[in-house]
Amino acid sequence: MNLANTILDPINDFFFLTTCFHCGNRLSDGESRVCATCWSSLTPVRNDDFTYQVMIKRFQDAGIIDEFIPLYYFEKGKMLQSLAHSLKYEEITSFGKELGEKIGAALKTKNITAAAVIPVPLNKRKERERGYNQSEFIAEGVSRVTGIPVLPQAVRRVKYTVTQTHLNAEERKENIADAFIADERYKEKIANKVVIVVDDIITTGSTIQEIGKVLKDAGAKKIIAASAGLAKLGEDA
């Protein structure tokens, strides 16, 4: 590390920790990384929203996901997109834990309990490149609030899949088919149990349903899907 970095890094850390990540305003006491105003700018998902109703119908028709708890809508250019990007690509993993804590608080409000929290596993190639799985940090945040243990190895990704960013719902379903298996070592912790599967952003639900399927096949009694973000659908979806 050169002299300039030795001097500037603590200064950068100071300003980053005392100003809001998104808007740059000074944080108040008790605020961490993101100010209350920016958190309140996120659009919460309501049970009577069109997108939520479409997703619930999709899950009910498939008969795999029994309950769905998304927090906010994922909207381009808004704060959640910035948080998700920084969590995935800039190693700001504290955002994952904070989002997980908010999911945990929502679960407690609904009096939801479970035997395990399972993060959506990353493709091994992506995890090696990134160095971590962002959903594991979200799961840790959920566990911190609820006390429910995290089982990061209970489901493994066994098939390489292309990025789903530009795929439609049917293409995503085909792409993710047979991509996961439940690890036999965790069968006793899953069988006849309620399990929460967490992800950062849910778009069509194909990934979470595929994971739910292998967990149900492994004997899970009930699958709750939870996410920090939900991609908003158009009225013609």
CATH of the domain at 140: 3.40.50.2020
Domain end, chosen from 9, 24, 41, is at 41
Quote the DSSP letter at residue 19: B
List Cα–Cα distances, 155 to 4, 24, 84, 200, 206, in angstroms: 45, 39, 22, 16, 16
**In terms of domains, do 118 and 49 share one?**
yes
Let me know if residue 129 belongs to a domain: yes
Would you say residue 237 lies in a domain?
no
Residue 175 lies inside a defined structural domain of this protein = yes
Residue 163, pLDDT score: 64
Determine, yes or no, domain membership for 224: yes
**Which residue type does 183 have?**
D
In this structure, are 108 and 3 located in the same domain? Answer: no
- What six digits make up the tokens of 210? 């595929």
The reported pLDDT for the residue numbered 148 is: 98
Q: Say what the pLDDT of residue 150 is.
A: 97
pLDDT score, position 166: 59
Assess whether 22 and 131 both reside in one domain: no
The segments of the chain whose pLDDT lies below 50 read 1-15, 236-237
92 and 138 inside one domain: yes
Q: Which two tokens stand for residue 155?
A: 């489901």
Residue 181, domain member (yes or no): yes
Please check whether residue 113 lies inside any domain of the structure.
yes
| Structural domain count of the chain | 2
Name the residue range of residue 136's domain: 43-231
The H or E element containing residue 59 is: helix 50-62
pLDDT value of residue 69: 97
Q: Model-level pTM?
A: 0.85
65 CB-side CA count, 13 A: 26
Instruction: Kindly state the helix (H) or strand (E) to which residue 5 belongs, with its residue range.
Output: helix 3-18
160 within a domain of the structure (yes/no): yes
Helices (H), 110-133: 124-130
Looking at the fold, whether 33 and 48 belong to one and the same domain comes out as: no
Is 15 found in the same domain as 72?
Answer: no
Same domain (yes/no): 108, 19: no
State whether 92 and 203 are in the same domain: yes
pLDDT at 90: 77
Helix H or strand E encompassing 67? strand 67-74
Q: Are residues 102 and 33 in the same domain?
A: no
Predicted confidence (pLDDT) per residue in 136-160, tens digit: 999 999 999 999 999 999 999 887 6
Same domain, 62 and 50: yes
The two beta strands, 116-119 and 222-231, are: unpaired
Residue of 144, 147, 132, 136 lying closest to 197 (CA atoms): 136
CB 142 within 8 A of CB 116: no
| In a shared domain, residues 15 and 72 | no
Backbone angles phi, psi at 147, to 5 degrees: 80, 5
* DSSP 8-class letter at 154: S
Residues 106 and 23 in one domain: no
Does the residue 53 lie in any domain? yes
